[in-house]
Every structure is written in C-alpha cells, then in structure tokens.
Amino acid sequence: MREDVFAQHVRERRAAANTTGESITEVDPAFMDALPDDLRNEIIRNEQRLNLENAFISGRGRSSDSEEDDEGDMSGQFETRTATLNEKPMTPVKQKKRQRLTFPPLIDRYGVAALLKMVFVPQLYYKRENFFKTLGYLCYNKQTRSEIIALLLYILQEGIMDQSSLEAIYFQLCQRAKIPGTPDATKNDEPKTYAKGCRPPVSLGISASFPMSCTGATVATQAIDVIQYLLENESHMKFHFLSDQESNPFIRKMGKKHKLKDSSYKYPINILFNLLGNKQINEDTNLMDILSRTFQIATKPLQLIQAKLDGMDTEARTQFKGPQLPIIPDRSLKQIINILIADECASKVFQQTISSIQNLSVLENAKVVFPRELSKNATSLSKTISTDLRELIKELQSTKDFSDDSSIPELTKFSSGSSDQAKLLRVLTALDYLFKINDKTNMDSAEAKELKELYKNSALGPLWGALSDCLP
C-alpha cells in the first residue's frame, strides 16, 4: 500500500511539472517528512544510486576534449538532490555548467614507441584486446593520439615492403624507445633510415632482437586491427583521419620521402589509401577485409561534415572552426575503384568498398573521378569479354564432344572467381549505388540521365551481341 501511495504521489508531481513547466522534484519535501524514517532513507539512497549510474553512463559517451568532470558532477548531484529532498522550501535544481577537461599524457613519445613494439609480436586477436583498450585510454590525450596513429601509419607505409624493411622499422622503434641518457641511446631521437638490405647495428641489446615468426602480413594485420578498433570504439578518433595532422613529424617525414607536392599528405586518410598500392596488402584477402572496413569507418564522418557545411552561408563557412572536408587527390580515389576490379574481391570487401565510395562522393573531385573511372573500367572489361566470347564461339563450333569442359580451354576464362565478367558486374553495381538508382527513381532526373550516358559510353552493345551469338 505504501508503494502504491508513493507511486501515485510521483505521478501527480510529474503531471504538475508538465503543466506548469517548472523544474521541481518528483517528491514533495512535505510528503517526505510525513514518511517513516526507514522509507525516507531508502528513497534517498535509491535516488543517489540512480544519479551515480546516470552520471557514469553519460560520462562514458563524452569526447575527451569537451567532457565534464564526472566525479565533481556526481558529488554535486548528490548534494543537490539530498538537500532538495530534505528541505521544505522547493527550489529549482540549477544545472552545473560543463567544464572543459584536458587529459594529461600518461606516457611520452618514448613510451609510445616502446608500446607499439607489441605490434611486431604475433598474437591471436583475443589476446590483444587489453592492448587495444590500453591504446584507447592513451588516445584520450590529443598529442598521444596523434603520436600513436602517425607511428602506426609509418610502420604500415615504410615497413610492409619486404623483410629487410620490416626489421629496419622495428629497430627504429627500439632506438626511439630509448630515453636520452640511457645506455645505447642515440643523440638524435628521430628514427634513422637504413639503406635497403642493410641491417641496423647489433649494439641495441637483447630488447631490440627481432621477434621470431614476425612477417609483414602479421604486422600489417595487427597494426590495421589497432586502427580499426580505435575508429570503432573511441569517439576521439571520429575526425582524426580527416583532419590536418601536418604538425606531426612522422606525417611530414612520409610526405617528404614520397615527394608529395600537394597538401594531401597532411591527412592520414590518404596514407591509408596509399596502402592499396602495396602488393603484400592488396593480394591478402584477410588484410583487404579489415582495411576496407577501416576505410568505411574512417570516411563515414564526411557525410556529417558536408551536412553541417550545407547549412551555412559562404561567410559562415570561412569562419567555421570545426572539421572541414579533407583534400583527397584523384590518385587515392582511383585506388579505391581498383579494389572492385581486383582478382579477389570478397562480398564483404565489395560491400564495405561501396559504402566508402558513397561516403567519399560528397567531395567535389570524387563526383567526377568515380563515374569516370567506373565507366572507363566497364568499357575496358566489356571489350575484353567480347573478345573472349568471340573466341569461345569459334571453339564451340570446332568442338564435337561437349561432355568434357576441359576440352574447351576458353571456358576457364569465364568459370573462375577472378573472371572479367565478375569484375564487370561489380563495376556496374557500383555505378548504380553511386547514383542511388532504384525502382522508384525518376528516370528523367539528372542522375538517371547521367547514368544512362555512362552506360552508353561503356560500349556494352558489342558485349550483348557477342553473348547472344553464344546462345543456340
């Protein structure tokens, strides 16, 4: 009966608050005074516990650069709530102003280098989860976050070429991890570059011994796994790959080494795209799976940035200090399209690549490059398939025994998973997704007309003619 009375009182207080629009507590102080001591104390304890849980949950979702002080907020809520419940005068609860928090770095750059040596130690995924979480906590600090990502990209860009380059990068990490003043510490803290095929000096000690069973595929997988985890689980990483990171020395170093004259090297997303030019990566199905997923997550905020900018006038855009659209050169966009025409392109990789293409399509140059490259590839593939079909027709006309497919070698070109018609199908599907064509689309719209023109330029007519000639 007590619970029913209390519940009825709370409902009445809520209804009164909705009617008057005033900020009042759910429990009238006079009503609290009328309750027995044990029941009143229990209600207060429940209120405090709920405030604790709510404060903790809300604090988990805040970003590192604009979070409130959770501990201070929770204690303030307790004092306010308890005082309000016990005081007879009814006073509105004042909202505490959010305080901007900064997270001090827990480790310096030497510690980051020492920690990332773990990427070279082959381990199963579940055994690396604590390592991922540790890096996630460290990324709360902006400087440490920049250092971790830049070093991971440096490992992927410079170390995944051959075994010699992999070992050289590892020894650079070992050298960088040495604090100045310690034995064998170099005078220059910046990583040294060794000539190709030359091993670093052996005076680095036992701690610098190269891990056994470490290969380029292992390091690439574990480094990309870290990046993917951070992108998926840490809100601080949301715009990192799309933001200017020129201040980081490793980013500048990679830009100078590869002689990038434009400003695209400032954006980490372009370094990720450059990995598609590495055969060790683009020929590994597992690596392409996690890399395409990383592209998908890293480019997703582009839609949010564009939507924000669309709501501003020209003057507001120039004064806007928030995230801006990055500079992604045409060569990087072409590399994304090349995923679709690779010999091996699993369905999951295809879906994630299509999603990345849709995310990137908000860029002005992407609106030109994507349709042009897809149409060009469709034209090239259709011509190749037409030629193969003509040759197949000749084989069929000269073959008398059709019981054995091996007697017709031309059929092998059409039966493998890496066949040209499979590539053509992926390219044409990407065109449809790019223009978002479906059954409800107005075929007289500008997008539909542009798509028709692209299909026309792809010269698919000869392909259909050759295909019909194959039919009995």
**Alpha-carbon gap, residue 71 to 215, rounded angstroms:** 45
Claim to verify: residue 156 and residue 41 sit in the same structural domain: no
Q: For residue 335, is it within any domain?
A: no
Q: Is residue 140 part of a domain?
A: yes
Residue 22 sits at φ, ψ, to 5 deg, of: -85, 155
Cα separation of 65 and 313, whole Å?
Answer: 27
Tell me if 362 is assigned to some domain.
no
115 with 80, same domain? no
Q: In terms of domains, do 58 and 117 share one?
A: no
Residue from 243, 143, 150 nearest 190 by CA = 150
- Structural domain span for residue 386: 368-470
- Residues 379, 449: one domain? yes
Say whether both 244 and 116 belong to one domain. Answer: yes
Of 52, 86, 120, the domain-final residue: 86
Domain-located, residue 333: no
Q: Does 439 reside within a domain?
A: yes
Query: What is the sign of the dihedral through the CA atoms of 151, 152, 157 and 159?
Result: positive
**Which domain-ending residue is among 26, 55, 86?**
86
Judge if 255 and 393 occupy the same domain. Answer: no
Residue 154 falls within a domain, yes or no? yes
d(CA 433, CA 249) in angstroms, rounded, equals 39
Residue 360 belongs to some domain of the structure: no
CA distance 273 to 290: 13
CA distance 95 to 107: 35
State residue 266's pLDDT score: 86
Domain boundary (255, 289, 320) is at 320
Residue type, 194: Y
Residues 6+ apart with CB under 8 A from 388: 410, 413, 414, 420
77 and 161 belong to one structural domain: no
Do 46 and 115 reside in the same domain of the chain?
Answer: no
Rounded to whole angstroms, the Cα distance separating 378 from 428 reads 7
- pLDDT in single tens digits along all 472 residues of the chain: 555 655 566 566 656 655 554 545 555 666 666 677 777 777 777 766 666 555 544 444 444 444 333 334 433 443 444 444 444 444 555 555 566 667 888 889 899 999 999 999 999 999 999 999 999 999 999 999 999 999 999 999 998 988 999 999 999 999 988 877 666 544 444 455 544 444 444 333 335 688 988 999 999 999 999 999 999 998 888 899 998 887 777 777 777 766 666 677 789 999 999 999 999 998 899 999 999 999 999 999 999 988 888 888 777 777 777 788 899 999 999 999 999 999 889 999 999 999 999 999 999 999 999 999 999 998 899 888 888 888 888 877 776 665 655 556 667 777 777 788 889 999 999 988 888 755 455 555 666 677 777 766 666 777 777 777 776 6
Task: Give me the number of domains the chain comprises.
Answer: 3
Q: Are residues 130 and 247 in the same domain?
A: yes
User: Is there a single domain that holds both residue 76 and residue 131?
Assistant: no
- pTM assigned to the model: 0.71
The answer on 124 and 81 residing in a single domain is no
Asked if residue 336 is part of any domain, the answer here is no
- Are 301 and 424 contained in the same domain? no
Q: Tell me if 360 sits within 8 A of 336, measured CB to CB.
A: yes
Q: How far apart are CA 271 and CA 313, in angstroms?
A: 32
